[in-house]
Structure 1
Amino acid sequence: MRLYDDPVEVRRGETDGPDQFLWRGRLWKVRAVMAHWVETAPWWQSTTVQAVVGTDEQPDLTQEHAPPAGADLLVERELWRVEAGRGMAAVTGSDGEVVHTSGVFDLSFSWSDGRWQLVGCAD
């Protein structure tokens, strides 16, 4: 799977999952949801946790640099692994070769900022 960090526009379906998405000027129709999960931010790497656990580096915990208490626990994103295509599953090109117009995509929805990202693609 190739990794990306591309913004996408998503149209949700009846089940609140992605139904269509626009990526790099192309409209993709979700054919199947293969997996759905939620990830939290790596809270164990936060400066607050590092201050409690102790590290070789001294974190700057002054008021202007310190994140709000528990902020790392609130950052989460919802991920959807979908099979999506552009029209038919496969098309024959001008040279007779089969051109696949579908793939598997990982779409991420960030609850903190309300944005969708395409984070992975296997086509």
Structure 2
Amino acid sequence: MSRLYGDPIEVWIRDGQPVQFVWRDRLYAVREVQDHWVVAREWWKTSDSDPGERRFWRLVAATGRESGTYELRFDTAGGDWLLLRAWD
């Protein structure tokens, strides 16, 4: 089962992919990227000349011995990272 969050996170990138992130004051190390996809933002719903895109990653990450599956989103227009979903 998954849970939705939408929490802001801090992310470290290497070679264009997340390698670590901090969520709720805990550091997570990315063990495996399971999926990556990009969605163009709806330019007709914004007044920005470049609405950017949203980049998503589904990955396995661990903090200590505990690991889980997480979905991260990066918004290129605002430069914001969110943890959208976590699986039990």
Structure 2 segments unaligned to the other structure (5+ residues): none
Structure 1 stretches of 4+ with a deviation exceeding 6 A read: none
Structure with higher helix content:
1
The count of corresponding residues between Structure 1 and Structure 2 is 87
* CA–CA separation in structure 1 for the residues paired with 2:40 and 2:5: 19
Q: State TM-score, norm by structure 1.
A: 0.63
- 8 Å contact kept, 2:43–2:51: no
Give the structure 1 partner of residue 4 of structure 2. Answer: 3
Residue 82 (structure 1) aligned with residue 47 (structure 2): no
Report SS of the residue matched to 1:31: strand
Give the structure 2 partner of residue 96 of structure 1. Answer: none
Deviation at 1:4, TM superposition (A): 1.3
- The Cα RMSD (Å) is 1.9
Aligned-pair identity in percent equals 41
Q: State TM-score, norm by structure 2.
A: 0.86
Q: Report the residue type matching 1:8 in the other structure.
A: I
Q: Deviations over 1:66-91 (max 9, x none)?
A: 825xx5x7331111111001122xxx
Structure with higher strand content:
2
Report SS of the residue matched to 1:112: coil
Deviation at 1:10, TM superposition (A): 0.4
* CA–CA separation in structure 2 for the residues paired with 1:43 and 1:2: 29
Q: Deviations over 1:64-117 (max 9, x none)?
A: xx825xx5x7331111111001122xxxxxxxxxxxx11110111110011111
